[in-house]
Structure 1
Amino acid sequence: MVKWDPKIIRIERKPKAASKIHAAPPIVLSLAFLTLIFIGTLILKLPISTETPISWMDSLFTATSAVTVTGLVVADTGADFTLFGQIVITLLIQLGGLGLMTFAVVTLIALGGKIGFFQQTVAKEAFNQTDTHSLIKTAKAVLLFALFVETIGIIILTIHWLPDLGWKNSIWHAIFYTISAFNNAGFALSSDSLMPYVSDPIVNFTITLLFITGGLGFSVWLEIWQKKRWKALSPYSKLMLAGTLTLNIIALIAIYLIEFNNPKTLGLLSTEDQWLASWFQAVTPRTAGFNTLDIASLEDASTTVMLLLMFIGGGSLSTASGIKVVTFFVLFLATYSFLRRDNNVESFGRTIPPETVSKALALAIVYIGVTWFGIFLLLLTENSKFLDIVFEVVSAFGTVGLSRGLTSELSEIGKVIIIVLMFIGRLGPLTLAYFLASPRSKVTRVPESRFAIG
């Protein structure tokens, strides 16, 4: 005789619940970012936040730029916002950079609460993690690591700026620039960013190390801390570190060779300062957004190099955006393997799964498609040079924050376009495609057919 067992019912209901949750994470993350942007917009519109009243559009633009850690501004952060407004912008950068889910998970842990399956799914989407068991450990490590690195940056910059700015201003400037740099935001307290410090090695190296550290990705730093040896690192971390170093060196040499005779950029600097400025401009397009040279005065060739770097971006699970360094090199290795007629795509002695290559290709195609559409729309709404528009769109979608001067001249429609691009760029093109595409319930094999390519 068969006995009724209630456990069977519970087991059968789980797949249905899971299928309902499957589409929720990207939507929940989008709503979380939208909520933070909405709150930030309201607060920045208050009289206490600004020296002179700003429009609702400018308030929305600033809040979106801060939450998405982009750094494009239509209002001077140092001149148009009060200390209260600057503090609000700093908090928006920190929340948006480290990720809303990081703070949510850590708060639940601190309160002794349990994280349910739904919250785990949402947090995994935010962290780009597939292992639920490592989620809590990752959340703690992310927060502690960020606070540790930011504390070091604040101490160094405070001591360095103390003789010129005094205690109060040096501490605040150090806090603001450290959080902005580590989170790859690019917000500055002066309209010319860090151009006054073009020859200051302490500021240059501290700021660049902060945004490179934040842009590498927390998973890479955790693995470095745990394994401490190059050979023990995973192929992903090796590719991320080697790729970052390669891109930085190539960009450094390229910008120096292109600009060293340009009187508007490197031409009037000493040799040491030329290399220092070249280094800063080489690494800042990786979604950092600061600049020590006038971006609009760069040669077109240098601008093209920066466009590529903004397109690539930083690392996964980091404060940076773009298609990501590993994505770029996976596509590069896949192309190289195809040209060599190799059966497998390999990196550091390991085979890269076809699914990973397909994901990288899908991400790149979505990124290119959205970028093209953004350029097309701005060409319809703005009366500006083509290169300036391309640079603005790539910078906004990559949440970089660099501009050739177009941001302050945008029309109201143009501002809306850039706001949307910053928002989509922060969530990630693949995340956007994920919740726009309906999952297929069944897989049907159909006959193969050959297509002419090229």
Structure 2
Amino acid sequence: MFGAAVLRFVPGLYVDEGLNWTDAIFTSTSAVCVTGLIVVDTATYFTPMGQAFILLLIQLGGLGMLVLTSVIISALGGRPSLSTENLAVGARHMLPQVTARRLIFDVVRFTFFFEAAGAIMLYVIWGPQLGWTDSLWPAIFHSVSAFCNAGFSTNSASLMGFQHSPATIVVVSGLVIAGGLGFISMEELHQRFIRRNKAVRRLSVHTKLVLVVSSLLLFGCWPIFAVFEWTGVLSEMSMVDKLTNSFFLSVTPRTAGFNTIDYGAASDSTNFLTIILMMIGGSPGSTAGGMKTTTFALLGLLAWSRLRSHSTASFADRSIPSETIQRATGLFVIAIGIVVVGVFLLASIGDAYGASEPFIVRFFEVASAFNTVGLSMGVTSELSTPSRWVVIFLMFAGRTGPLSIAAALVIRLTAGGRYRLAYEDVVVG
């Protein structure tokens, strides 16, 4: 609400007139939840000061308020509570040899290192084309937005103007991938290969799973998107541009929100595969949204173990605890349920207001909002007021809901209960 109030009342943020309450809440929610869906053009509607405030909301949402609060308290000579530290860094038990305070500071260091490096590279790439003065702010804005997986852009057409710039696509892709790996995995890789910490003798199953699934999704979907759009939206491009843009199609749904093509002109097969990638999202403890790569992987491992009649799911010579499998299954079911309800509401409201978008357009919009992606087939600014409130709820639920749901499942499973009811079987299939 603070962000919405600032956008609503503070002068100097707009080129012309300000936002109404619904659009102010929509914009601030999209920024804090690092989604990227917009109802007004960030490039033309906001002044540089307005864009800077949106970038501040993106940074707060990407890093997390608990992380920033812990850093500020530590910098002032105090110490955050143990519960605050644990909440700020998530599953710290994955790295028992690293203190919570150290991990929090490393999260901030990683963030600003990647954002600074990305801004410098984009500035060098764009400087000769846009001018060294005019390219400075866009380079900073896009670097922060990319690493935080936010998808906001100072260009009206996102990155479509750079679809013939392979260097831009590679740099932005690298920032998105780094932001979506998860700080726990990044810290473990840093301790293992950069600091060569002897206490980290091997990578955890979590990090191995993150790296394997992320690689499979990125490089597995790359040729599929190329086949789908080779004679479609990519047909007018050179060979190199076709390859880089099809690679970006596999990067941006998880969950960056930048686009180098018009998804409204893409094929249904491309858009449906994009929806699947949006639902999977990034990795736990990252700036990305979605159900997370590990959830997707655990469901696949569960199915594979059942097909082989194994009682437990395993990966990398390790068995996965059944409680973790249950949490992943519960998270998947709840996420799918919320998306189904969101599609139903958006379709019902759209029909009531005489909207004529195809079903896949509404499905795409709901999946993008709940999984905090920010991609759109061009209908966000045309949504009615009730539909915008549905999208606001989906963005907020997607950013906070899955984490809260997972925490609740952990508490319930840990509590266990003092008794259980009698078993009685049910026919399945």
- Does the 8 Å CA contact 1:66/1:89 hold for their aligned counterparts? yes
On the 8 A contact 1:129/1:135 being kept in 2, the answer is: no
C-alpha separation between the residues in 1 aligned to 2:22 and 2:131?
Answer: 35
Partner in structure 1 of residue 209 of structure 2: 239
Aligned residue for 1:129? 91
Change in CA separation of 1:371 and 1:122 when aligned onto 2, cut-off 3 Å: farther
1:39 aligns to 2:2 (yes or no):
yes
- Listed one character per residue, the Cα deviations across residues 411-438 of structure 1 (whole Å, up to 9, x for unaligned) are 0011111011101111132514756999
- For 2:347 and 2:407, how far apart are their aligned partners in 1? 28
SS in 2 for 1:49: coil
Q: For residue 127 of structure 1, what is the amino acid of its counterpart?
A: V
Counterpart in the other structure of 2:80: 115
The structural deviation recorded for 1:40 is 1.2
Asked whether 1:451 is paired with 2:426, we answer yes
CA distance in 2, matches of 1:380, 1:320: 29
Superposition deviation, residue 453 in structure 1: 1.2
Distance verdict in 2 for CA 1:437–1:148, change over 3 Å: closer
- Of the candidates 319, 322, 325, which is equivalent to residue 351 of structure 1? 319
Distance change >3 Å, CA 178–CA 437, structure 1 → 2: closer
Question: Displacement of 1:59 after TM fit?
Answer: 1.3
Residue in structure 1 matching 2:22, options 45, 57, 67: 57
Task: Indicate the larger mover: 48-57 or 366-375.
Answer: 48-57
Aligned to 2:36: 71
The answer for the alignment partner of 1:287 in structure 2 is 255
Are 2:327 and 2:406, in contact at CA under 8 Å, matched by a contact in 1?
no
Aligned to 1:173: 138
Q: Which residue of 1 aligns with 2:298?
A: 330
Compared with structure 1, are the counterparts of its residues 359 and 194 closer, same or farther at alpha carbon in structure 2 (3 Å cutoff)? same
Is residue 340 from structure 1 mapped to residue 308 from structure 2 by the alignment?
A: yes
Match of 2:71 in 1: 106
Question: Contact conserved, 1:363 with 1:430, CA < 8 A, in 2?
Answer: no
Q: Find 2:396's aligned residue among 391, 411, 423.
A: 423
Contact map agreement 2:38 2:380 (CA 8 A) in 1 = yes
Task: Please identify, of 226-235 and 287-296, the stretch whose mean Cα deviation from structure 2 is larger.
Answer: 226-235
Q: Does the CA-based 8 Å contact 2:327-2:409 persist in structure 1? A: no
- Answer yes or no: is 1:252 the counterpart of 2:217: no
Cα root mean square deviation, aligned: 1.9
2:66, 2:87 within 8 Å by CA — same for their partners in 1? no
Residue 12 of structure 2: SS of its match in structure 1? Answer: helix
5 Å matches for 1:264-275? 265-275=233-243
Following superposition, the deviation at residue 239 of structure 1 comes to 0.8
Change in 2 beyond 3 A, CA 1:123/1:427: farther
Q: What code does the residue aligned with 2:11 have?
A: P
Aligned to 1:164: 129
Q: How many residues are treated as equivalent by the alignment?
A: 412
Aligned partner letter, 1:50:
Y
Spell out, residue by residue over 1:23-67, the C-alpha distance to the aligned partner (whole angstroms, 9 max, x if none): xxxxxxxxxxxxxxx121122223310112222211111111000
Question: Which residue number in structure 2 is paired with residue 190 of structure 1?
Answer: 155
Which has the higher mean CA deviation after the structures are superposed, 165-174 or 87-96?
165-174
| Distance apart, 1:450 and its partner CA | 1.7
Gapped regions of structure 1 (runs ≥ 5): 1-37
Distance 2:409 2:298 in 1: 25
- Measured in 1, the distance between the counterparts of 2:264 and 2:68 equals 38
Q: What TM-score do the two structures reach when normalised by structure 1?
A: 0.87
The answer as to whether partners of 2:255 and 2:290 remain within 8 angstroms in 1 is: yes
User: Deviation of residue 167 (structure 1)?
Assistant: 3.0
The one-letter code of the counterpart of 1:96 is G
